[in-house]
Amino acid sequence: MTRVLMFTAILFYSAASSAHHGTAGQFDASQIINVAGVVTKIRFVNPHSYVYFNVTEKDGSVSEWRCEMRAATLLKRSGWTAEMFAPGTRIKIEGNPARREPHGCYVETIALDDGTIIDRYQQLESADKGNVQRDSRRPDGTPNLAGNWAAPQRLLTADQVRAFAAADPAGGMGMGPRPGGGPGGGPRYQQSDAGKAASAGYQREDNPRFHCMATNIFQDWTFDQHINRIEQSEDKIVLTYGFMDIVRTIHLDMDSHPSNIELSRAGHSIGHWDGDTLVVDTVGFEEGFLDTRQGVKHSTQLHVVERFSLSEDGNSLLRSYEGEDPLYLTAPFTGRDEIGVTEAEYDPYNCEDLTQEVVPGF
């Protein structure tokens, strides 16, 4: 987990600047504003929570403001509560102004009534416990994967985020090859002519996340450190993603895929145990994206093999995967990730995007 924490910190600004809708298009990170007012309501929702408050201007008039915070499930995991922003609470916010919303901002820090100053990514109370006591094996002798799992949280301060931004104005695009890249650090996805044609004309707003839709079974497993839930029985394992509510059923009692698969973002999965490693074979994907930065797409011919295994102490779940798409790719792609067991509660994502909400002055 230490390796994962280090890698997460290195990629922090990249992920923070591109999460869901990102910040560059909606907010002006080059400017810092300070605004104070009285809370009128709080919307604890995903992908972004918003605090609404009234600001009394110098001429005595009152302006209605709202400022964006992190996703509700992430705030809860860090010990934030809606009660912190009860109507009538006085707050002071330092943040970035909205580009198209005169009374909107992106929260960097919030000062509460009692003088406490909280960074956007601050962990007030950790719901993650080290060395969670759990049975490493089920009664049938197979590894016990059941429980709640999540990637380690980002714990950088607002000042550290600004430092990353100053060092990498491109928003992390120059961070170097990602895990699972091609040979010699080359492109991770090698597109065929058909794949390039399918990706042609891609625009940022084509990203499924911008429409409250899941992206793929790879990125969404760790995206933004949401809490995943695994349920396990003798004949199946169910993976419920904390981001965008992907639900995957891994059938352990099937040797082959049925012929009448209904295509979906999750696909159809069958699995078996190879010693202590769970091997999962998945097909039946609807056409979608492998890379939402470059618009790299996969076809319905995508075929993926994943391998899940527990660390020696049973508190980390390692996944490696290899995918191939004979229609859109000319070579397989690979990747790996690692998540940790947590006592934090799983919450359905229930995406409710307020980004384009009609508010006074919008």
pLDDT tens digits, one per residue of 108-155:
999 998 888 999 988 887 666 555 678 889 999 999 999 999 998 766
Q: For 75-108, how does the pLDDT look when each residue is reduced to its tens digit (9 = 90+)?
A: 998 889 999 999 999 999 999 999 988 999 999 9
Task: Return the pLDDT at 26.
Answer: 83
Task: Return the pLDDT at 136.
Answer: 87
Q: Compute the residue count for the chain.
A: 362
In this model, does residue 306 exceed pLDDT 90? yes
Task: Return the pLDDT at 224.
Answer: 87
Q: What is the mean pLDDT of the chain?
A: 85
Tokens of 190: 């090698």
> Among positive and negative, which fits the CA dihedral 177, 181, 184, 190?
negative
Burial grade of 131 (CB within 10 A; 0-12, 13-18, 19 or more): exposed
Residue 154 DSSP class: P
In this model, does residue 280 exceed pLDDT 90? yes
Task: Return the pLDDT at 274.
Answer: 97
Q: Yes or no: say if 102 and 75 are a contact pair by the CB < 8 Å rule.
A: no
Pick the range with the lowest mean pLDDT from 59-73, 94-108, 166-180: 166-180
Angle (CA) 209 30 49, round 5°: 40
Other C-beta atoms within 10 Å of 7: how many?
14
Domains of the chain and any CATH numbers: 31-119 (2.40.50.1010), 147-161+175-341 (no CATH)
Task: Return the pLDDT at 188.
Answer: 85
Residue range 5-27: mean pLDDT, rounded? 47
Residue range 217-228: mean pLDDT, rounded? 93
Q: Measuring CA to CA, which residue among 290, 275, 60 is closest to residue 180?
A: 290
Task: Return the pLDDT at 158.
Answer: 58
